[in-house]
Amino acid sequence: MPEDESVLSRAAEAPTRTVAYGGHPDQVFDVFPGAAERTAVLLHGGFWRPAYDRVHLYPMANAMQAAGWTAITVEFRRIPGDPGATVEDVRAALSAVGGEVVLLGHSAGGHLALHAAATAPQHVRGVVALAPVADLARASALGLSGNAVAAFLGDHDPAGFDPRLLAPRRPVTIVHGSADETVPIEVAESYRDSHPDIRFVRLPGEGHYCVIDPLTGPFQVVLDEAAALG
């Protein structure tokens, strides 16, 4: 059964404002202010490719806003062969947001969230990684999305960019569907095996996009896990 990708192109309410955290056009984040004093920073997927941006997370941001969160959707540079620019942008955006936050990332954004769990500023309360590319070596061996890992890393040593090799310094929860064909759950299980103290939520029979789609039942699991950290 094919993955339901409708959330990627679904209409959503626009953010209240967009804030620059650097001089590059991609160094911006959007703000969806919520009623409660809690903030969720969202990192989008797309296998680190420039063709995919933060806009497809707007439905998720709207839903988190409706649940009382201030939601922030981060853009970052996506330059094939320059992974340092991407992780540096995530770090800079988190610093610019400030205050205590819960960091959520989907797919490649889940990879970035897990990397941040090992390197992020102190004000990150915890990380919820959604169907993450959690083990770059495993994802590369599987050739995910036309060898996306190799394109992301270029000639760089993967050691500093593979979250499986980095001990998390923040609480980590992974939420992953067992029927995910885009990022198979075994990629996240490999991370869990290396870091057995994390929380791992397996969604039986679910695919890749339900974790960012507010119209699905599993999305409530995501809200609950974020609330447990926030």
The tokens describing 151, both together, are 């394109």
Reported as a single tens digit per residue, the pLDDT across 53-74 is: 999 999 999 999 999 999 999 9
d(CA 109, CA 114): 9
1: in domain: no
Q: Give the CATH number for residue 167.
A: 3.40.50.1820
pLDDT at 171: 97
169: in domain: yes
Reported as a single tens digit per residue, the pLDDT across 122-133 is: 899 999 999 999
205: in domain: yes
Q: Does the pLDDT at position 2 exceed 90?
A: no
Q: Does the pLDDT at position 188 exceed 90?
A: yes
pLDDT at 230: 86
Q: Is the pTM of this model over 0.85?
A: yes
pLDDT at 5: 94
Q: Does the pLDDT at position 209 exceed 80?
A: yes
Give the mean pLDDT of 155-179: 97
Structural domain range at position 10? 6-229
Are β-strands 124-130 and 101-106 bridged in parallel, bridged antiparallel, or unpaired? parallel
d(CA 77, CA 121): 20
- Provide the 8-state DSSP code for 195: S
Q: Does the pLDDT at position 1 exceed 90?
A: no
Q: Does the pLDDT at position 190 exceed 90?
A: yes
pLDDT level of residue 154 (50, 70, 90 thresholds): very high
187: in domain: yes
Q: Does the pLDDT at position 181 exceed 90?
A: yes
Q: Output the average pLDDT for the chain.
A: 97
DSSP-derived secondary structure for 64-125: HHHTTPEEEEEP----TT-HHHHHHHHHHHHHHH-SSEEEEEETHHHHHHHHHHHH--TTEE
100: in domain: yes
- Tell me how many domains the chain contains: 1
pLDDT at 121: 75
pLDDT at 193: 98
Q: Does the pLDDT at position 3 exceed 90?
A: no
d(CA 196, CA 208): 23
